[in-house]
Structure 1
Amino acid sequence: MFAASVAVGGAAQAVVAESADGARFDAFLDQAVQHYQLPGIAMGVIEDGKLVYRGTRGELVAGQGAAINDDSLFKIASNTKAMTAAVLARLVQAGKLRWDDPVTKHLPQFRMQDPWVTRNMQVRDLLIHNSGLGLGAGDLMLWPEPNNFDRSDIIAGLAHLKPTGSFRSEYAYDNLMYVVAGEVAAAAGGKPYAQLLREEIFQPLGMQRCQVGAWSPAAVGNIAQPHQRDGKRNVAAERDPPQLTDFPSMAAGGVRCSLNDMLRWMQVLLDPAQAPGWLDATQRRALWTAHMPMPISQRLRDWDNTHFYAYGYGWRLSDMDGQWKVAHTGTLSGMYSSLALLPDRRTGVVILINGEGEDARTALMQAMLKHYTAPAGDVDVLHYAQLIETAAAQRRSAGHVRPALPAARAATVAEFGSKAGVWQDPWFGEVSLCRRDGKLQFASVKSPRMTGQVMRAGERWYVSWQGLGEDADAWLEFSGDAQQPRLQLRAIDPDIDFSYDYPDLEFQRRDDCR
């Protein structure tokens, strides 16, 4: 055991300090809900180390009447990464590992495509998106969920993913390395990742409602469900079963916490005195050190006057109007989170949304932070919503939209000919392009939700996925010869989510349809 014995109180018992800004924060929250028609949201603010605001709106499930409150659980998605990094920092502090340990010291089976990278990949490299792999490489082993990949599949699959750049030369966001990081923690700590997270983070810090690993939503209750937009309605999608398993991507984005839990997490990060001895100054500094430079977008320059942008251990670091900012976002289908800290002010904001809220979290967080970094500007959520919508209109006018396809129809087995059959990719595994239920379908063995009907548009073929939305649809591109036929997938929509990692797939035909 190396969970510190720290006497702390959970945020659920904390009293909100008096704040003259509560009405303004309420207004911002209402603007976000109304403008973006959100099913539900929770937002909290720590100011100078004190809890000054908690606000919730909407329902756990739209239309069912159960209101979101401070203890409702949300998927925090990639805000999990900071917790994974903190578990590793605790292990370093306890002498169980070092940041510069080779990954193979703890996971001898770890392999990258390049043997030199395999030998030289350190624990710290797993956290800072510098592996040389492309954006979202291998994410189809993680999402869509549920699927049949396990952590050993993911680690084995890394050897087949081709780098797009040199190791440690450039930033490219990566989820798979955080899965590896979770397994390094488990090996060094002698316990499963989920148990370590409970013992090293949740229990000592009093984050009483957070869930990780296998757990029962039916028993825990008060859980916000993800939603998708259906016309003018929010519809619950991918609702929880009574029991959840410890799925492979847990260390990259699998934690659920309440608003109260996240406020407690923020307080401890902003003020070490909240949990004496939990994490020493050396390891706190390591988490928030700029380890990997990141490109600065024009929007960051225009909105925040940003001069530096870098990745720490599980955190994005930047300057905003001359103030130090430490932040991260989280995105899973139908769930969005955002957490931003201004450490020199001991101030932070957290936002949790259970609907399609990418633009909502951006506009709301921006308005909230500007309240502290540039109060004279007097801007609100609608100001940033307008800027986002103008930029989106410009992208559409520049052609960054799903192209209009020729009249499409269902493909037939007869015209598909020898393209039908069983195909194999080295890391994604087996898929079939065969007749199922009277239709020509693409179906993955390892990822059952990657099932869709093969369509023909002009002289081209594409997959129309079942239940994933047309934004994910992909062209089927065939090459090679009769002896070595090849199949690749290409996104139709240029703005497809990067986790649909089609560029890294390269199938070879293995057999006829069975």
Structure 2
Amino acid sequence: MSVIRIFSVILLLIAVVGSYLAFTGIKPEPPAAEPDLASEPKPEEWVMDDSMTTFLDEFEQSFTEGLIAKQIPGAAVAIVKDGRVVYQKGFGVKEAGNPEKVDEHTVFRLGSVSKGFASVLTGLFVEEGLVRWDYPVSKYLEEFKLNDPEQTNRVQVRHLLSHTSGLPRHAYTNLVEDGLTLDRIIPRLERVPLIAKEGDQLSYQNAAYSAIEKVLEFQTNTDFNSLLHERLFSPLGMEYSSASYDSIRNSGNVALPHVYYSRARGRVPISISRKYYNAVSSGGINASASDMGEWLLLLTGHQPGVISKETLEDIYTPFVTMNNRRYSRHWVGVNKSHYAMGWRVLDNHGQKIVYHGGYVNGYRSEIAFAPEDGIGICILINTSSSYPLTVIPDVFEYFRSETHSLGMTAE
């Protein structure tokens, strides 16, 4: 059949079909209209109820007055409730004598608040089966040896993270502060006489605690700082967080540390130190209030894609009792606390509070949260002061005594 005849047949078919549609009244469907986005209902937005707004306004005024009274140069605060960051703000200045203000993204050092990052990071690998809480540390890390070989074989990851390995308090913290690497410090633990059987007594550690870094590095073939960034900082959007001296020094928005000099001069700025960046899990993490708000959301169980609530519960389970009132003295009617894994725990009249504090190089940090209630607060300051400890219990008292939450309304 020629090309001309084929073309003629096609035209004839088109004409026949068109006539049929016209006869039957069937019309081809018009193309689908684009949705009118302007007419779409707006998504509902979370807004605070008036009572919480009033409370946060009063908190801000009172906190500001306290900073002035205590001569604290700068601070930053993050508060979370019900899976939302409800408050984050900077106060004061980054450096005494300099007008540059602290904001919610200003970087501070966390000190021992870093310990909670190490336990949570370990929990991620427990979930993946690379690490077990009840497995001997020495099986992961041959260099980890204690004065008693039998106890060496019994000390588990859980003992390491709860400061109950049997070592005396602050074993070789001096070597950490002298800048020795963990590779040089850990083998020396064998020389230290033990004071207790594993699990029996809390004896706070920095060098031994930081051995967890080497456990995770061995199991993942990745350095600890990279693990922090890849598994915690990046997924949580903690874009101002880091774990090195160079990072904080090169930050364009950092609060300088201060120490008290005299009544006349008050608190004066000092240089940022390299101390504890050789033992990051014990005191080497840097972060802002905005970062800590995201961290609190994870800690209160609102990042299940990163870590499960069940694993967090394991981490927060009390392991050893602390009878010293040093850590509960600001909580009315609370006379003792416990240590879990990287966290202290207390019972605030039926409300479980998980918390930790940190001090390093002229910085002070405090973090506390009630995982079952979804409430948390972190306070960062650039000097040494117990002022944050006096503030935090009042925040929990407000939420404990009243039923306040974020209301969900359409706007």
Aligned to 1:57: 91
Structure 1 stretch displaced more, 60-69 or 346-355: 60-69
User: How far apart are 1:105 and its partner, in Å?
Assistant: 1.6
Structure 1 stretch displaced more, 364-373 or 147-156: 364-373
Which amino acid counterpart does residue 363 of structure 1 have in structure 2? T
Aligned to 2:218: 187
Aligned to 1:258: 288
Aligned to 1:373: 400
Q: Deviations over 1:73-132 (max 9, x none)?
A: 011111111110111111111111211221112111111111111111111111001122
Cα pair distance change 1:307/1:297, threshold 3 Å:
closer
State which structure, 1 or 2, has the greater radius of gyration over its C-alpha atoms.
2
- Whole-Å separation in 2 of the counterparts to 1:27 and 1:49: 25
Q: 2:158 aligns with which of 106, 110, 124?
A: 124
Select the structure that is richer in strand.
1
Aligned to 2:64: 30
Q: Secondary structure at the match of 2:204?
A: coil
Aligned to 2:377: 349
1:85 aligns with 2:119: yes
Aligned to 1:236: 269
User: How far apart are 1:265 and its partner, in Å?
Assistant: 0.6
Which amino acid counterpart does residue 41 of structure 1 have in structure 2? A
1:223 aligns with 2:254: yes
Cα pair distance change 1:16/1:188, threshold 3 Å:
farther
- Whole-Å separation in 1 of the counterparts to 2:398 and 2:98: 35
Q: Secondary structure at the match of 2:294?
A: helix
Cα pair distance change 1:315/1:186, threshold 3 Å:
same
Cα pair distance change 1:155/1:299, threshold 3 Å:
closer
Q: Secondary structure at the match of 2:210?
A: helix
Which amino acid counterpart does residue 264 of structure 1 have in structure 2? E
Structure 1 stretch displaced more, 307-316 or 113-122: 307-316
Cα pair distance change 1:214/1:351, threshold 3 Å:
closer
Q: Secondary structure at the match of 1:71?
A: coil
User: How far apart are 1:360 and its partner, in Å?
Assistant: 1.0
Q: Deviations over 1:163-190 (max 9, x none)?
A: 2333321112111222101111111111
- Percent identical among aligned pairs is 26
Aligned to 2:192: 161
Q: 1:76 aligns with which of 89, 106, 110?
A: 110
TM-score (norm 1): 0.65
TM-score (norm 2): 0.80
- Whole-Å separation in 2 of the counterparts to 1:101 and 1:299: 30
User: How far apart are 1:15 and its partner, in Å?
Assistant: 9.2
Which amino acid counterpart does residue 235 of structure 1 have in structure 2? V
Which amino acid counterpart does residue 177 of structure 1 have in structure 2? A
Which amino acid counterpart does residue 128 of structure 1 have in structure 2? S
Q: Secondary structure at the match of 2:135?
A: coil
1:318-467 to 2 correspondence within 5 Å?
A: 318-357=346-385, 359-374=386-401
- Whole-Å separation in 2 of the counterparts to 1:217 and 1:47: 29
Select the structure that is richer in helix.
2
The answer for unaligned runs of 5 or more in structure 2 is 1-44, 404-411
Q: Secondary structure at the match of 1:271?
A: coil
Which amino acid counterpart does residue 231 of structure 2 have in structure 1? E
Q: Secondary structure at the match of 1:142?
A: helix
Which amino acid counterpart does residue 270 of structure 1 have in structure 2? T
Count of residue correspondences:
354
- Whole-Å separation in 1 of the counterparts to 2:89 and 2:398: 17
Q: Once superposed, what is the RMSD of the aligned Cα atoms?
A: 2.4
Q: Is the 8 A contact 1:102 1:122 kept in 2?
A: yes
- Whole-Å separation in 2 of the counterparts to 1:140 and 1:296: 24
Aligned to 1:282: 310
- Whole-Å separation in 2 of the counterparts to 1:373 and 1:162: 45
